[in-house]
Amino acid sequence: MPMGHTATAEAGSGGLTATEHRLANGLRVVLSEDHLTPVAAVCLWYDVGSRHEVAGRTGLAHLFEHLMFQGSAQVKDNGHFELVQGAGGSLNGTTSFERTNYFETMPAHQLELALWLEADRMGSLLTVLDDESMENQRSVVKNERRQRYDNVPYGTAFEKLFALAYPEGHPYHHTPIGSMADLDAATLEDAREFFRTYYAPNNAVISVVGDIDPEQTLAWIEKYFGSIPAHDGKRPPRDGTLPDIIGEEKRQLVEAEVPSRALMAAYRLPHDGTRACDAADVALTILGGGESSRLYNRLVRRDRTAVTAGFGMLRLSGAPSVGWLDVKTSHEAVVSDIEAAVDEELARFAEEGPTDEEMERAQAQLEREWLDRLGTVAGRADELCKYAVLFGDPQLALTAVGRVLSVTADEVKEVAQARLRPDNRAVLVYEPLAPDQAPDAPGTDVNDAAEIEVQEEEAAK
């Protein structure tokens, strides 16, 4: 029988509660009752992402996310989607640097179906994984790369910045989409070994949030997941430790077919789960979080050198987080002028720190974003899984808002001084190609049309 304990509402949790349990095979279970609406969300996080990949097999974690929707022992082909959507639910899956997740939101009376579906593919996917499904989803992922990265303006910026900001050989040097060459090189046996290694109950957390009977829900989870054997062959991810500061500015000029010049930069920031990371989040919100931010007011409203100016944060736990600056120029504005203005604003902020009004506005903005996440059953299920997988304690999700609100102006100033510096960033400068240099639009042959059809089917999911 599953073992567990019941948690009471913690201070700062807004009255939200969660209970934690663990099956004999190692599967961690987090349950949170919410009877406001008759729906239930199921979220399953596997502790595997692109940081676990090895050289020559980038993109395998994302490819496998797609393979998980290709059928299992009891569910053929596209049946997972058909059954969930036929029951009135919604579903999807995503891959990041640090995890792969799968999720469904169902009418409450259809919760058992979602649990059975997730258990069936966790326990039996290998019985149906074959060359046909491998080739089908390899084509889908390659076309996804073309449509979202290679063939759209600025599409590979994220990939280029991570390659600059994280050194060669670092587990975060490459992004989850992977390279075309590595996608082509992946074999069926690679996929099977990947599944055996990472898709085990003792490498996963399942959360169920919503209009549920916790006792019945736990009984269903034990019934469907309890017989799946654990696997102890997981290899730990490579060490993502890096110095706090890059030590020099990394810079790349990109001449491409883009609508305007652009300045993008990635700053190395504190790890997720730390108070310094929360302070950095507040700092970037003040500097570039929306139309009331300092950079937007300076570049778009005052100087009129940019049409967009934003500064956001990608929180990472296994490596330094990233502060992402994105500025698109206006008309014939020169990037060097924009960069000088950005540096001036960052230096002034580091010297003076935020005003009381800026702190209040930024923390209110971040509080709203957190409450939006925790206020939906699907968002809360995802956050509970995140904190269980990455930090070992799902209860931290329920108090995250309070930690952001407790950050002080001095802490924000301190992290800005320490991290928002020219010697701690990777920079991309986009320069549009001259009209006579732009490549001709690609044609579409029979093979392209077939792959586009596959992608459209994937999008319809």
Q: Label the pairing between strands 90-95 and 100-107.
A: antiparallel
Instruction: Specify the amino acid at residue 85.
Output: Q
- Give the type of residue at 97: F
Give me the torsion for CA of 64, 68, 72, 76, rounded to 10°. -120
Find tokens 């395998």 and name the residue: 60
Closest CA relative to residue 394, chosen from 407, 380, 408: 380
* Spatial distance between the Cα atoms of 426 and 165, rounded to a whole number of angstroms: 5
Among residues 10, 20, 53, 65, which one is catalytic?
Answer: 65
Query: DSSP letters along 33-73, please?
Result: E--SSSEEEEEEEES--GGG--TT-TTHHHHHHHHTTSB-S
Q: For residues 423 and 248, is the Cβ–Cβ distance under 8 A?
A: yes
How many angstroms separate the CA atoms of 444 and 257, rounded? 19
Separation CA 209–CA 217 (nearest Å):
10
Burial (CB count <10 Å: 0-12, 13-18, 19+), residue 192: middle
Neighbours of 84 (CB within 10 A): 22
Closest CA to 401 of 379, 368, 378: 368
291 as an active site residue: the answer is no
Which residues form the catalytic set?
A: 65
